[in-house]
Chains A and B, each alone.
Chain A
Amino acid sequence: MNEGLRSELSKQGIFTTTLGDLYNWGRKNSVWPLQFGLACCAIEMIATTMARYDLARFGAEVFRPSPRQADLMIVAGTVTKKMAPQVVRLYNQMPEPKYVIAMGACAISGGPFKQGYNVLKGIDRFIPVDVHIPGCPPRPEALIHAFMTLQKKIETQQLTGVNRPRHLDAEAPSEFPVPKFGGHDLEPPNNPAVWHAPKLVREP
């Protein structure tokens, strides 16, 4: 159906849509995040859900205490190497379709603790991240912006075709390998299927 016919019909009081649009409209307005926080970013995440910022306006007020009922993982805070396997395991236990927001400097890169011996240099080394928010910690507005960015992403996802998302592709992985505790570091230190090092930005 072309746009002209659709607008002509809507003038006559006939609403038309596609199954894909309807499906994505429902999904993007009922994204339930997983209720867990790792550090101080979690305080901002809690503030975002409270009356002043009110994440409920976007259909995400129900923070689920179980990964099996959650659609969205907000990685709010520093991911230590000791915690990383648990975060990946929680992600694996979430049903598809699932999304990840990496909230704050620590979750996206390790932040101020990046060169410490115990901090993972970004959760995107192990699981695919949909939206990164910088900030230390990001303000609630930034989290809401990230959430709206995720909604836009969900809205444009196609149900069929080569660009269809992972959860509609039977071949694509839904579980990601959980790193093991090694003698000197996590083993493996990253998942090459989801992460590779970007180019060195600054030359001396």
Chain B
Amino acid sequence: MVMETLEQIKARIENAISGAKPEIIPNESPSAQRSLLLDPAHAVEVAKFLRDDSQLRLDYCSNVTGVDWLDLIIKEKVKVKKVVEGVEKEVEEPVERKRPGYLEAVYHLYSMALKHGPLIIRLRTENRADKNHVPSLTPVWRGAEFQEREIYDLYGIIFDGHPDLRRILMWEGFADHPMRKDYVEPDDYEYEPTPHDEVLEKTKQHHSPEPKP
């Protein structure tokens, strides 16, 4: 059975839930697997709609994962009207725009009842530091519980409404989030049997250079 297109799903969400603003995220890779970005305020309502709607019935959340997006400087060319040598011309000028980083939770949804999918939905935090909250979808898909805990552990996203948000892989009292791109791992590279590249650099810091004969 074929699922509706993403545009159709988006239109139906906007019809069913007032104020919801889902956004289609393009994917330029060969898979072209696009996804739906949900706004945090309506995410739980939209998720319930996706699960309960008779044409979608996305009853199975197969995977939840996290993504860390760092601050990004986007270089664009903007057309500006300028007076060049006494004549007004349209000139392209390079403009740099800073996009603040954010954390993302990605859910892969399938329908066991109608045998279709996947539909990929995303939730984004406002930034990577203090505004790192998104609503938990565990009340909608119970299977997301441990995976949301894992994302909390490794990325530091706080899921509001999660029944039991604790670390799952690392211990309580561990301060870092190891899957973040700016994670600094403890320096225990005293010994590496076959060091190379960056591992070699780390290993060399522990060894004073031997005097050459």
- Residues on A close to B: CB < 8 A? 82, 109, 114-115, 117-118, 121, 181-185, 189-190, 197-202, 204
Contact = CB atoms under 8 A, between A and B. Distances in A.
A198 B195 CA distance: 13
B32 interface: no
Given A181-B174, A184-B176, A200-B203, A118 B169 contact: yes
Contacts of A118: 169-170, 178
Interface in B135-191: 169-176, 178, 183, 185-186, 188, 190-191
Contact of B195 (A182, A184, A190, A200): A200
A39 B172 CA distance: 23
A189 B200 CA distance: 20
Contacts of A182: 173
A197 B205 CA distance: 13
B95 interface: no
Interface string B86-112: 000000000000000000000000000
25 contacts: A82-B169, A109-B193, A115-B199, A117-B183, A117-B185, A118-B169, A118-B178, A181-B172, A181-B174, A182-B173, A183-B173, A183-B174, A184-B176, A185-B186, A189-B186, A189-B188, A190-B190, A197-B190, A198-B191, A200-B191, A200-B192, A200-B204, A200-B207, A201-B193, A202-B195
Interface of A is mostly: loop
A183 B184 CA distance: 12
Contacts of A184: 174-176, 186
Nearest to B171: A181
Taking residues whose C-beta sits less than 8 angstroms from the other chain, chain B's interface range is 20 to 34
A202 B194 contact: yes
B186 A199 contact: no
Contacts of A198: 191
Nearest to B199: A115
Given A109-B193, A202-B195, A117 B178 contact: yes
B206 interface: yes
A117 B186 CA distance: 8
A66 B68 CA distance: 44
A200 B190 CA distance: 9
A185 B170 contact: no
B199 A197 contact: no
Interface string B200-213: 10011011000000
B188 A190 contact: yes
Contacts of B195: 200, 202
Contact of A204 (B169, B171, B175, B200): B200
Contacts of B173: 181-183
Contacts of A109: 193
Contact of B188 (A183, A185, A201, A202): A185
A199 B191 CA distance: 7
A150 B203 CA distance: 32
Nearest to A117: B178
B175 A183 contact: yes
A96 B26 CA distance: 64
A93 to B, nearest CB: 21
A118 B185 CA distance: 10
A53 B185 CA distance: 42
Nearest to B207: A200
| Pairs of residues from A and B, 4 with the lowest C-beta to C-beta distance, nearest first | A197-B190, A185-B186, A117-B178, A183-B175
